[in-house]
Amino acid sequence: MEKRLQGKAIIVSGAGTAGEGIGNGKAAALKFGREGAQVLCVDQNGDAAAGTAERIREEGGIAQVCQADVTSAADCDLVVDSCLKSFQKIDVLHNNVGIPGYFEIVDLPEDSWSKVFDVNVKGMFMMCKRVIPPMIKNGGGSIINISSIASHRPLPDAVYCSSKGAVDALTLYIARRYGRHNIRANVLLLGYIDTPLARPAWEIEKIKEINLKQVPLRRFASPMEVANVAAFLASDEAAYINGVILPVDGGLLVSL
């Protein structure tokens, strides 16, 4: 039976994982590989991206690596060139890179604001800008931008909330403007996902208890549960889904 992403060329940004274990980017890359896609694993940490690509290949999939910082225009050019050179097309862009800021607004240094916006918003903008022309040439594509429930329900992190709000708006803009070219753009609005970056906070029992009580499903998600939804949005099964901000949060958004 044909796999549902068979032959699709997919760029995953932040495809490595910060530290041990599996983060959202790596999980998505692995899932895409398992579904038959050709995956370009992009990360500023080349070893981490290579680790993900190796695992995809070990599982019988197709993967290439591109070490790149999404805040660099030259690196974003390199990513798109690498994908076109390796796979001759770009079907899907999975924009996963995102970092927290950690400050309340009154304590937030201006340079932290700029840094987080550069990574979380400008990086996504620069990647979208570059994949849209080849997608149009190829008859369409799917852009999946990773956001957070923080864009709808503020966390005590002013720049993170603001930057994810910009990610949502950028995605809706692309959905409206480029739908006519059969390019779909959608957001995954993540709740509490059990990743190496998020887990340290839950080592404090009190925080874990409070966060778990906020989620109607009473558990955190595994990054693979996010990856499953991303695979759907990347696939032709989602051919009529465009401009959607889709929570993957166990119901957190309706309970906060």
Q: How far is the CB of 139 from ligand NAD (least distance, A)?
A: 28
The amino acid present at 7, given as its one-letter code, is G
**Shortest Cβ contact with ligand NAD: which residue?**
23
Q: Which of 130, 119, 145, 129 is nearest to 24 (CA)?
A: 145
Q: How far is the CB of 33 from ligand NAD (least distance, A)?
A: 15
Q: Contact positions toward ligand NAD, by CB under 6 A?
A: 13-14, 16-18, 23-25, 43-45, 48, 69-71, 96-99, 119, 123, 146, 148, 190, 192-193, 195, 197-198
CB nearer to ligand NAD: pick between 36 and 46 = 46
Q: How far is the CB of 221 from ligand NAD (least distance, A)?
A: 8
Q: Which residues pair with 94 in a beta bridge?
A: 12, 144
Q: How far is the CB of 135 from ligand NAD (least distance, A)?
A: 21
Residue of 102, 160, 192, 240 marked catalytic:
160
Q: How far is the CB of 75 from ligand NAD (least distance, A)?
A: 8
**Residue 224 burial (C-beta neighbours within 10 Å; 0-12, 13-18, 19+):** middle
CB nearer to ligand NAD: pick between 32 and 192 = 192
Q: Which of 227, 221, 135 is nearest to 184 (CA)?
A: 135
160 is catalytic: yes
CB nearer to ligand NAD: pick between 209 and 236 = 209
The amino acid present at 58, given as its one-letter code, is E
* Spatial separation of the C-alpha atoms in residues 109 and 103, rounded to whole Å: 8
CB nearer to ligand NAD: pick between 23 and 33 = 23
Residues 112-121: contacts with CB within 8 Å, 24+ apart? 112/159, 113/159, 116/159, 116/160, 116/163, 117/159, 117/162, 117/163, 117/166, 118/71, 119/70, 119/71, 120/160, 120/163, 120/164, 120/166, 120/167, 121/163, 121/166, 121/167, 121/170
CB nearer to ligand NAD: pick between 138 and 151 = 151
* Spatial separation of the C-alpha atoms in residues 186 and 193, rounded to whole Å: 19
Residue where the block lists tokens 């009529």:
240
Cα 192–Cα 193–Cα 199 angle in degrees, nearest 5: 95
- Beta carbons of 254 and 153 less than 8 angstroms apart: no
Residues belonging to the active site: 160
